[in-house]
């Protein structure tokens, strides 16, 4: 009996180490590219399914959260059949199943608090390297691997020719900030100073990236986190606000690229009616609205905005992969009915446990919530919600949002976590 217990304990430790390794690789896989990121997620969920199915946890499928996610999946399958190009839509919609399994996997992995503590340390290291790289590229013109942006007002970092580093940082920074505030009251003065320093460096790097929308999202998300955070004294919150203001003012006066990117370009656009009308994002928004008007009920189908606008040339359309705004994307590709289904399920899952979240003061969970709210800010430009890059960042945060709190973890009923 004792030998069996030892073997069981040893096997569990091996599994924990294995999952820690493949979970730790998530940020790096995203940086390398969609194919590697997808392969890593598939490895995670396939590995988990062997364990999950072996433990007879099938009653979990009756959980309300899982049922709603399954309903969301069935809607997406239906969306494929009403799309203007079934094959393109189905390819994305069928693949959405991986995020549901990833959600279950992360909830299972986070049953033990020590698992997420170790994972956060590895993610902290990776994101810290990216933050350093952003500063390096801002001052030298190239990242540490020699990549450089075509537009010198933007930063590519490890993403070669894509200006998405701020979106990537946003996807992990709120998780890490939430983790840093766990047991904050018991941290010593030096640890609190280092936490403040980390947040300030993150602010500087996202500002340096030149991604205006993601910079604003970060500042809004940080405001939400600090607003909910009762561990930070009012005077310290005021200090952070003044620090951010000082960083912005100093950057505008010190760095010409930042002044042009965040101030001059926008002022010129909004001051000049002709430039305002020709502003690419406004044109994309109008194009998306026109697509919605022609397909009001169910839209043109997931990932089919590009088919409609690029395959059918028209003066009212702007050929692009998506309309660059989440609500217009939903309306154009899913119509009013699909948008109500999507937003209804997603908003319910986000805010259904708000009372538990506020009372628990689980700061890792609050960090995830802060990020998730920024995804749905109206009017601001955004990447495609269902693209591999954005969807992976969203569902990692969404999964940790539930998994990190024993009171919301979907396995709580099976392991008496209440």
Rounded Cα distance between 413 and 247, Å, is 47
Asked if residue 343 lies in contact with residue 334, where contact means CB atoms within 8 angstroms, the answer is: no
Asked if residue 404 lies in contact with residue 368, where contact means CB atoms within 8 angstroms, the answer is: yes
Asked if residue 213 lies in contact with residue 266, where contact means CB atoms within 8 angstroms, the answer is: no
Give residue 415's pLDDT band: very low, low, confident or very high (50, 70, 90): low
CA dihedral 228, 121, 415, 364 (to 10 degrees): 10
Give residue 164's pLDDT band: very low, low, confident or very high (50, 70, 90): very high
Give residue 115's pLDDT band: very low, low, confident or very high (50, 70, 90): low
Rounded Cα distance between 34 and 45, Å, is 16
Model confidence, pTM: 0.92
Mean pLDDT of all residues belonging to the chain: 86
Tens digit of each residue's pLDDT (9 = 90 or more) over 40-81: 999 999 988 887 766 655 556 678 899 999 999 999 999 999
Residue 269 C-beta-side C-alpha neighbours within 13 Å = 15
Instruction: Please give the pLDDT value at position 229.
Output: 83
Tens digit of each residue's pLDDT (9 = 90 or more) over 353-377: 888 888 888 899 999 999 999 999 9
Tens digit of each residue's pLDDT (9 = 90 or more) over 211-262: 889 999 999 999 999 988 877 788 878 888 888 888 888 888 888 778 777 7
Give residue 1's pLDDT band: very low, low, confident or very high (50, 70, 90): very low
Tens digit of each residue's pLDDT (9 = 90 or more) over 192-207: 889 989 999 999 999 9
- Buried b vs exposed e over 196-210: b needs ≥16 C-beta within 10 Å? bebbeebbbbbbbbb
Instruction: Please give the pLDDT value at position 257.
Output: 77
The structure tokens listed for 374 are 């920024």
């Amino acid at each position: 009996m004792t030998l069996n217990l030892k073997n069981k304990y040893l096997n569990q430790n091996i599994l924990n180490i294995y999952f820690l390794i493949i979970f730790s690789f998530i940020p790096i896989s995203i940086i390398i590219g969609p194919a590697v990121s997808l392969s890593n997620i598939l490895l995670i969920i396939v590995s988990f399914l062997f364990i999950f199915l072996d433990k007879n946890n099938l009653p979990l499928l009756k959980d309300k959260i899982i049922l709603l996610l399954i309903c969301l999946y069935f809607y997406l399958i239906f969306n494929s059949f009403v799309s203007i190009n079934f094959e393109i839509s189905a390819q994305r919609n069928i693949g959405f199943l991986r995020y549901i399994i990833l959600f279950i996997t992360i909830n299972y992995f986070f049953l033990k608090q020590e698992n997420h503590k170790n994972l956060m340390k590895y993610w902290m290291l990776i994101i810290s390297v990216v933050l350093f790289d952003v500063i390096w590229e801002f001052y030298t013109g190239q990242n540490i691997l020699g990549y450089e942006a075509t537009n010198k007002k933007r930063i590519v970092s490890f993403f070669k020719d894509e200006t998405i580093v701020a979106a990537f940082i946003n996807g992990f920074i709120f998780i890490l900030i939430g983790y840093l505030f766990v047991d904050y009251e018991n941290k010593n003065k030096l640890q609190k100073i280092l936490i403040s320093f980390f947040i300030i460096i993150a602010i500087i790097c996202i500002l340096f990236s030149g991604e205006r929308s993601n910079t604003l999202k970060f500042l809004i998300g940080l405001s939400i986190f600090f607003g909910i955070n009762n561990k930070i004294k009012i005077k310290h919150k005021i200090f952070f606000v003044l620090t951010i203001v000082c960083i912005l003012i100093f950057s505008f006066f010190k760095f010409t690229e930042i002044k042009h990117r965040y101030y001059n370009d926008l002022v010129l656009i909004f001051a000049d009616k002709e430039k305002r009308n020709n502003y690419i994002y406004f044109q994309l928004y109008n194009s998306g609205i026109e697509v919605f008007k022609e397909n009001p009920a169910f839209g043109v189908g997931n990932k089919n905005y590009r088919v409609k606008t690029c395959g059918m040339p028209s003066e009212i359309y702007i050929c692009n992969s998506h309309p660059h705004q989440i609500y217009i994307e939903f309306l154009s590709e899913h119509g009013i009915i699909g948008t109500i289904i999507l937003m209804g399920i997603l908003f319910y899952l986000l805010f259904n446990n708000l009372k538990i979240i506020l009372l628990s003061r689980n700061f890792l969970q609050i960090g995830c919530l802060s990020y998730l709210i920024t995804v749905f800010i109206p009017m601001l430009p955004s990447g495609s919600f269902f693209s591999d890059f954005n969807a992976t960042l969203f569902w990692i945060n969404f999964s940790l949002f539930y998994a990190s709190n024993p009171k919301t973890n979907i396995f709580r009923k099976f392991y008496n976590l209440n």
